[in-house]
Chain A
Amino acid sequence: MATNTLSTEKKFNWGGGKSPFSVSYGKLMMWIFLLSDAFTFSSLLIAYGFIRYSFQSPIHNLVVKPFDHLSHDFVQEMVEKTKYFVQDHWPSPELVFNHFPFIHGMHLPLFFVSLMTFILILSSVTMVLAVEAGHRNAKSEVSKYMLMTIIGGAMFLGCQAWEWTTFIGEGARLFGNPYGPRSFAALFFIVTGFHGFHVFSGVVLNVIIYINVLKGTYEKRGHYEMVEKVGLYWHFVDLVWVFVFTFFYLI
């Protein structure tokens, strides 16, 4: 029988009395939760795709080049000069998201969001380092890298706040926007908002774990598995951002 050809080790793994994946139930639960959360994000992104592709694709930008100077009122100029923001075409994201803090009047397509993405990915790197230090039970290193991860997350949230403020300042609302189809801004707010909420929860969790690391809770416990669990969550939030970034900004 086919089942008898299983290696003895594998039989032992699934034979009960121990975890078949050699992980604790807590870590397994985090994986299962992330799987289910992935479906929540998928449903929102599929709704985005469904609505976006009921409109015509963005008009390809041939007029405005990066670093071109534009007037202070970006949107106004885009609407008048380029005629690229119309009701039946999805707006081209590079024309919408072209601002950078403290630099006015210049067309910098997706520069700022690239910076945000870079910060978030860096915070994932520091999280990896924290988990790795946790395996070595190196308390001071864990706390150092956890702190850096928290700072990275907070910076990302700050960037998102600035991005939203600019976007709203130009007239984007849930019920309408100057760039074209009324669902454009609504979907942007809901999906990046839902992701931002996840980042915010992640930062809160990280702070709690950071405090526990400082208090020595995990040192007493003998392992830093909690750092690993929030690490899983943090990487997931990062991964989701890669998809959000691709769908909302790049294509």
Chain B
Amino acid sequence: MSDHNIDNHHEEHEHHKDSFLSKYVFSMDHKMIARQFLITGIIMGTIGMLMSMIFRLQLAYPDMTFPFLEGIIGHWGKDGKLDPNFYLALITIHGTIMVFYVLTAGLSGTFSNLLIPLQVGARDMASPFMNMLSYWFFFASSCVLLFSLFVDGGPASAGWTVYPPLSALPKAIPGSGTGMTLWLVAMILFIASALLGGINYIATILNMRTKGMKMTRLPLTIWAFLVTAILGLLSFPVLLGGSLLLVFDRSFGTSFYLSEIVAEFAGGIERTGGSPILFQHLFWFLGHPEVYIILLPALGITSEVIATNARKPIFGYRAMIGSILAIGVLSFIVWGHHMFITGMNPFLGSVFMLGTLIIAVPSAVKTFNYLATLWQGNLKLTPAMMFAIGLVSFFISGGLTGIYLGNAALDINLHDTYFVVAHFHLVMGSAAIFGMMAGIYHWYPKLFGRMMNETAGHIHFWLTIISAYCVFFPMHFLGLAGVPRRYYANTAYDQFDVFVDMNQFITIAALLGGLAQLIFLVNFFYNIFKGKRSPQNPWDSNTLEWTAPVEHFHGNWIGEIPHVYRWAYDYSKPGAEQDFIPQNVPDEGQTDCMEEAVGLPAIGNHAASAEA
């Protein structure tokens, strides 16, 4: 019965007329929705990056004036001096945009939408209508967040974690007013978008795989998107609950997050009985899985890009799946490591510490598997491959400092310093952005039917990775010396004067890194219209999306959906004519292909037969 339903459902959606509105705006085609997510994400990312440029200028040159600021941000930059309140707003909105709008919706929204139906062999998502709704909730949410930049008092300024009391008392700081309310509205819209998307992704992956596409034949991208969607589905509702209580605290006089200390601090208001720590628990129950919601799609994309461009089967396919699942499970039981200094019971702290450090194990499995896949590969250094290798580099260098921060005793010293900023910008920010870039360069032909310029891609890569390391690596030293994050200026503290030069170096590197993104933006938008037409399978890849025609139409494949006979990583198979065998090529030697998926490199035939 269910098969029958699925078929009916597709026929309904294949034959609809394409007016401009239904094709480009209210499109229900997953490929168009992916493009919408990507372009919205790139626009939001550009805004978030420009914000970081402004506050980096302030940090490097706290005593100088920049008359052009008044032209850009109006009264917030009066006489060329950045307003301290607006500095707080900038770091808050920069964090919110980057974490949620670029790296959650922009990354997983784009590639889950594009790749899930194409790689599992489905004509579209389970519910194309909900998929469209998911994009438009995201779009509305982006608009509300950007609108909050223009309200009285400025946008939310309590940091991207919006801790009470700054977020709970509308009169605490200028940004606690309307801006904060709009932040919460934007977030609730965003959660609705994430849930609609997530439900769709999971249902599509589980229910709509084509014939022969066993779970153990799925490309690792799909496994990463599946676990990402599950994480989002289970953690965003908790933020919804937490935000709901925060809305009531702000607007209806309840006191869930307001305690006696806060009430006294705020001028003896009658608001007692709650606890700001409650919000931190609810927030980080989302906040920590959120880190993996950001990172896992990037890791999945990297697996695919590295295997394709190394012309080798991915090393340890099952171990990769296992590590994705392990990271997914562990991410739910470690949120307390963000709260070591809230006065939690030291025993509880050590439990959270243990869980946190265990995450190093699956992370190391992934890292070594990437390296083993690259080892002795026939590397094709396309821009996508460069960015994927860049991700591995950031994942290692940023991941190592996670071991320091996960240690409860060390964290007391490092908490809220630039060491934390350096850590998460490397392992979550840069790594995920590099994964996203790898994905864009790799699947651009699929998204737009044209090729990007490779030389420009290489220049973009080298400038970006050099500037990213120059920006974030020195921050470790700032943090170890105790320089606190979120401060408008450190001029009041003599002991930080030695870091003035380093701050200027970071800012210059950041500005250069920002300029380098112009190359990408031009490369991206120019080639949508003028790029070289792409062949159907430009990277000689195995996965199903490259068996679909270059031209987009609703339904993905002309005629029957291809059946799958093998896993996605049959590269350089001995005895094969080509160095790749797409998944839809029937396997003559075997009737049951379960053995192929054990994760051994296909060149190790002896080992495989020995095990069998």
Contacts and interface: CB of A to CB of B under 8 A. Distances in A.
B252 A51 contact: no
Interface stretch (B88-96, B178-186, B204-212, B336-344): B204-212
Interface string A131-172: 000000000000000000000000000000000000000000
A-side interface size class: 35 or more
Interface stretch (A30-38, A59-67, A72-80, A100-108): A30-38
Given A25-B203, A51-B275, A175-B252, A3 B216 contact: yes
B407 to A, nearest CB: 27
B422 interface: no
A82 interface: no
Nearest to A54: B275
B255 A25 contact: no
A55 B68 CA distance: 55
Contacts of A25: 2, 5-6, 126-127, 203-204, 207-208
Interface string B184-213: 000000000001001110111011111111
A50 B278 CA distance: 7
B254 A29 contact: no
Interface in B1-48: 1-3, 5-6
Interface string A187-199: 1001000100000
B329 interface: no
Given A22-B2, A28-B203, A175-B254, A47 B211 contact: no
Given A51-B256, A51-B274, A183-B255, A36 B2 contact: no
A86 interface: no
A52 to B, nearest CB: 10
Contacts, number: 166
A118 B278 CA distance: 34
A214 interface: no
A43 interface: yes
A114 interface: no
A182 interface: yes
A251 interface: no
B242 interface: yes
Interface in A173-229: 173-176, 181-183, 186-187, 190, 194, 223
Interface stretch (A12-20, A230-238, A242-250): A12-20
B73 interface: no
Contact of B252 (A19, A46, A174): A174
B272 interface: yes
Given A15-B212, A17-B209, A186 B3 contact: no
B564 interface: yes
Contact of B594 (A4, A37, A173, A175): A4
A1 B611 contact: yes
Given A50-B278, A181-B273, A24 B195 contact: no
A17 to B, nearest CB: 3
Contacts of B198: 32, 36
Contact of A186 (B241, B242, B254, B281): B254
Nearest to B202: A32
Is chain A's binding surface mostly helix, strand, loop or mixed? helix
A43 B3 contact: no
A16 B212 contact: yes
A171 to B, nearest CB: 14
A7 to B, nearest CB: 13
B282 interface: yes
B2 A18 contact: yes
B199 A33 contact: yes
A42 interface: yes
Contacts of B248: 174, 186, 190
Nearest to B194: A36
Nearest to A17: B211
Contact of B2 (A1, A3, A24): A24
B233 interface: yes
A3 B238 contact: no
B199 A183 contact: no
A180 B198 CA distance: 42
A28 B206 contact: yes
B612 interface: yes
Nearest to A185: B254
Interface residues of B, number: 63
A87 to B, nearest CB: 9
A186 B210 CA distance: 50
Contacts of B242: 43, 47
Nearest to B127: A29
Contact of A47 (B130, B215, B241, B611): B241
A36 B237 CA distance: 6
A214 B380 CA distance: 63
A174 B255 CA distance: 9
Nearest to A173: B253
Contacts of B1: 24, 223
A159 B198 CA distance: 36
Contact of A29 (B121, B203, B270, B598): B203
Interface-central residue, A3, A14, A19, A181, by most chain B CB under 10 Å: A19
Contacts of A43: 237-238, 240-242, 282, 285
Contact of B199 (A36, A40, A44, A51): A36
B233 A35 contact: yes
A181 B258 CA distance: 13
B474 to A, nearest CB: 39
Contacts of A23: 2, 207
Interface in B216-235: 216-217, 233-235
B264 interface: no
A44 B247 CA distance: 13
A17 B238 CA distance: 34
Given A20-B206, A181-B273, A40 B255 contact: no
Interface string B582-612: 0000000000001100100000000000011
B234 A35 contact: yes
Interface string B250-294: 001111100000000000001111110010011001000000000
Contact of A36 (B195, B244, B612): B195
Nearest to A28: B203
B330 interface: no
A42 B340 CA distance: 24
A223 B1 CA distance: 10
A21 B210 CA distance: 15
A1 B598 contact: yes
Contacts of A51: 256, 273-275, 278
Contacts of A54: 273, 275
A182 B209 CA distance: 53
B245 interface: yes
Contacts of B240: 40, 43
A55 B260 CA distance: 13
11 contacts: A16-B213, A17-B210, A24-B1, A25-B203, A29-B126, A29-B199, A36-B234, A39-B238, A43-B240, A44-B244, A55-B273
Query: Which are the 5 A-B pairs with shortest beta-carbon distances?
Result: A43-B241, A17-B211, A175-B253, A16-B213, A16-B209
Given A40-B240, A44-B241, A183-B255, 16 more contacts: A1-B598, A16-B209, A16-B564, A22-B2, A23-B207, A24-B6, A26-B5, A33-B195, A35-B234, A36-B233, A43-B242, A44-B245, A47-B245, A51-B273, A182-B271, A223-B1
Interface of A: 1, 3-4, 11, 14-26, 28-29, 32-33, 35-37, 39-44, 46-47, 50-51, 54-55, 173-176, 181-183, 186-187, 190, 194, 223
